[in-house]
A and B are shown apart, each in its own frame.
Chain A
Amino acid sequence: MKNKKFVWAVMLPAMLHILVFIIVPIGIGLVVSFFNYNPLSSDNTFIGLENFRKLFLDADFRLAMKNTLIFVLATVFLNIALSLLTAQLISYFKSNKVRSFFRMVFFLPCIAPMVATSVVFSRSIFPTATGFLNMMLNRIGLPSVNWLGDPKVIMISLIIYTLWVDVGYNIVLFSAGIDGIPAYVYEAADLDGAGEWRKFRKVTLPLLGRSFQFVIVQTLISHFQMFAQFSVLILKDGPQNSGLVLSRYIYKTAFEYKDMGYASAVSMVLFIIIIILSFIEQKKHNVDWEY
C-alpha cells in the first residue's frame, strides 16, 4: 500500500505534465475546431461542424491526406524492413565493440538536427545539375533525375531522406531486442538443424514481438508528424503541392492563412488517424514475449 502511494507521488509530475501539455491542448484544439477562429479577431463565431464539412470539399486536404498516407506507409514499411535487416546483420558480429561501432554509425544521422540535414540534402545531394546523387548516376551512365522538381519523384526523394535520417533509431531498438534473446534458444534451433534464414524467421522474428510493437507504433506516430523535411528540404510543398502533407497543411492553415479553427479540424483528423492505427497495431501485436 505504501509502495503504491510512493509510485503515485513519483508519477504525479509526469501525469501533470501529460495533462497540461498534451490532454488539455488536445481538448482546446477540439473546441477550437468548432469555431471560425482567428486569434487576432475578437469575433470568433461558433460554427459547429462546418470546419469538418469543409474538409470533404477541400482538394488540398485530400491531396495532403493522400501524400501523408503514401509517405507514412512507405517509410514505416521500408524503415522497419531495413532496420531489422541491419540489426540482424550487426548481431552476427561477435565483438561487442564492433556491434556498438556499427550501431553508433547508423545512429549518427538521428543526432543531427533535421533542419540542418534537410538543407544539406536540398543543396548538395538532390540538386539536379550539381547534386551528389546525379553525379553518381551520371558516372555510371544513367541520366540525371530531377529529385526535387518533378512531382512524380519528389516523394521518393523525401522517403530516401527520411530513411537515412531515421533508420538508425530503430536499428538500435531492434539490436537491443535481438541481443536480449537468450543464446540457448538459438542453440536449440542449431541442434534441430535450422539454417540462418529459418532461425531468423522462426526464432528471431516471433521473439521480437514486443520490440516490433513499440517500433511500429512509435515510427507510425513520428512519421505522421514529420515536418522539417517537408518545410525545408523541398520548396513551398513541391511542384503542384506534390510534397504537401497534413503536418505542413496544418501549419500553413494556422499560421499563414490564420484559420486556426480549420487547422484544428485537420489536426483532429490527424489525431484520430494516429489513435486508430496505434490501437489496431496494439491489438494485432498482442504478445507474451518480451525482448
Chain B
Amino acid sequence: MKKIVSLLLCVLLTVSLTACSGSGKDTDSGQAPASDGTGGDITLTMWAHQNEPWNAAYTDAIAAFEAENEGIHIRLELFPYDEFEAKVQTSLIDGEGGADIYELWGGWALDFTPHNTLMAMPDDFAAQIREETYAPTYGALMNEGKLYGVPLEFNIENGAMLVNLGLLEANGLEVPVTWEELKTTAAAGTVYDGNVFQVKGFDFVNWDSVPYYFLSLILQQGSNYLTEDGKFDVTTEEAKIAFDELAGMVTEDKVTDLEGLTGGGDLEGYQQLFAGRGMMVPRGPWTISEGVESFGLELGTDFDYVAMPWYGEEHGFASETGWSLAVSASCKEQEAAMKFIQYLYEDEVMLDHNIRCTQIPSKRSLAESAEYQEAMPYTKVLVDILDNAQFIGTFNTDRLKETVNDTFVGYCSGDYASVDEAMNDLNTKLNAILE
C-alpha cells in the first residue's frame, strides 16, 4: 500500500511540475487565433507598448474596425516599453506564442525580415505604401524588394528643438536662426553653480541626438557617412569637422555636459528644459505632450518648438524607420490581420492615429494636409524639411548609436590624442557592425 501511495505521490508531483513548466505553446496569447467554436469568429492578438494616448488610439481604431468587420476581433495586449522589445524579439525568434500583429520599431525589423519571420505585404499594397510614404519611414521594413510592414510615423529627431521661452527672455535672448547664433545664444544662456550646471544652454547630448546630428552635420557639408558599396566612411574631413564641432560644444563652449550619455541626471535633457534647467534641447515632437501634460506648461507661452538652425549649405539629414505595424509570418489568419493593417492605413484612420499619438505622418498627403497642420501647427517646422531626409541605412541603429556615443564620450574625456585617431577607431567599429 505504501508503495502505491509513494508511486502516486511521485506521479502527481511530476505531473504538476510538468504542468507548471508549460507546454511551450502559449494558447492564451499565441499565434493560433481563438475561435468561438463555431468556426466563424476570429480573434487576433496585437502587441503594443504602453503609452496612454497611443493605446487609446489603437483601442478606438480596433473598436471601429470590429464594428465594420463582423467576426474579426482584435485583442490588444500592452507591455511596458522596457520589456516590450525583449518580448517582441524573443517571441519572433521563438516562432511560437507571441502575437499575430506587432507594433514594431523599424530598427528591430532588420533582424527579422531576412528570416521570413514577418509576413511580406501583398505586392500591390506594398507598391501603394512606397508610393505614398516618405522613403525613410519604410527603409528598414524592406528586404530584397519585399515590404514587411506598414509605417505608422515619420521618426524624426532632427530639424527642430524645444526652447524654454522664459529663460531666453530672462537673458534677453532670441530664438537663434543660424548655427553661429545657436552657439552664442547657448553660451549666453548657460549658468553654472561652481562646476554644476544650473542651466544648460544647448543640451544636445542624449542617446539619439549625438549620432543623428553627427550624421546630419556630415550630410549638411555635402558629404556622406556611407560609401557607394554601403560601408561606413567617417574618416573624411567633413566627418572630422562634424565630430569636432559637436565635441567642442561640450569641451570648449561648455554649454552642456556628458550626463545625457553617461548617466547621473535625475531627468532627461528635455525634461530639464521643462523644469527650467535647460534652454534649448533638440528632440522630436513626441516630447511636447509631456511638457504640457506632466509639467503643466503651455506651448507658445512657456516653451516653443522651433526650427533647428542648419550647420551647412546642404539641408540633409538621416532618419531611421520608426513605429510600424507588422504581421507575424506564423499568424494563422493572415488575411484578417492584413484587413486590419489596411484599415489602419486608410487616410482618415491614420490621420486620427497620427494626431492622437503626436506623430509626424509617414504618408506625405497626411503630413501636408490642412487637417493635420491645423491639429498640430508646431510640427510645420518638421513637415517642411521631411523631403530632405534620407534613410539612415540597413544596419542595427542601436549599435550605431552606442558606437558613436561611446567614441564621443571617449573623445570628450580625452581618451583620443586627436580627432583623426577617434574617427579611425569609430570607422573600424562602425564597419564591424555591418559584419
Contacts and interface: CB of A to CB of B under 8 A. Distances in A.
Contacts of A154: 263
Contact of B402 (A131, A143, A236): A236
Interface stretch (A10-18, A85-93, A213-221, A265-273): A10-18
A256 B115 contact: no
Contacts of B89: 255
A41 B415 CA distance: 38
B266 A130 contact: yes
Which 6 pairs between the two chains have the least Cβ-Cβ distance?
A: A149-B264, A235-B263, A239-B262, A127-B266, A149-B262, A13-B13
Given A5-B3, A130-B266, A240-B409, A257 B399 contact: yes
B251 interface: no
A129 B191 CA distance: 13
Contacts of B10: 9-10, 12-13
Contacts of B304: none
A6 interface: yes
A148 interface: yes
Q: How many A residues touch the partner, as a band?
A: 35 or more
16 contacts: A5-B3, A6-B2, A13-B10, A40-B92, A40-B115, A123-B266, A127-B264, A128-B196, A128-B264, A131-B266, A143-B195, A148-B263, A149-B262, A149-B263, A149-B265, A240-B410
A236 B264 contact: no
A13 B265 contact: no
Interface in B385-435: 396, 398-399, 402, 405-406, 409-410, 413, 415
Interface string A94-132: 000000000000000000000000000011101111110
Interface string A231-260: 000111011110000000000000111100
A21 B17 CA distance: 11
A255 B88 CA distance: 11
Interface in B236-265: 258-259, 261-265
Contacts of B197: 129
A67 interface: no
B170 interface: no
Q: Is the interface of B mostly helix, strand, loop or mixed?
A: helix
B302 interface: no
A146 interface: yes
Interface in A26-54: 39-42
B344 to A, nearest CB: 26
A239 B415 CA distance: 12
Contacts of A238: 262-263
Contact of A146 (B114, B264, B413): B264
Contacts of B86: 255
Nearest to B402: A236
Contact of B17 (A16, A122, A147, A151): A16
B207 interface: yes
A172 to B, nearest CB: 28
A144 B196 CA distance: 8
Interface string B297-311: 000000000000000
Given A12-B10, A12-B14, A149-B259, 11 more contacts: A2-B2, A10-B10, A39-B94, A40-B114, A127-B266, A130-B266, A144-B196, A146-B264, A240-B413, A241-B406, A255-B90
Interface string B1-22: 0110011011001101100010
Given A5-B3, A9-B7, A128-B265, A40 B93 contact: yes
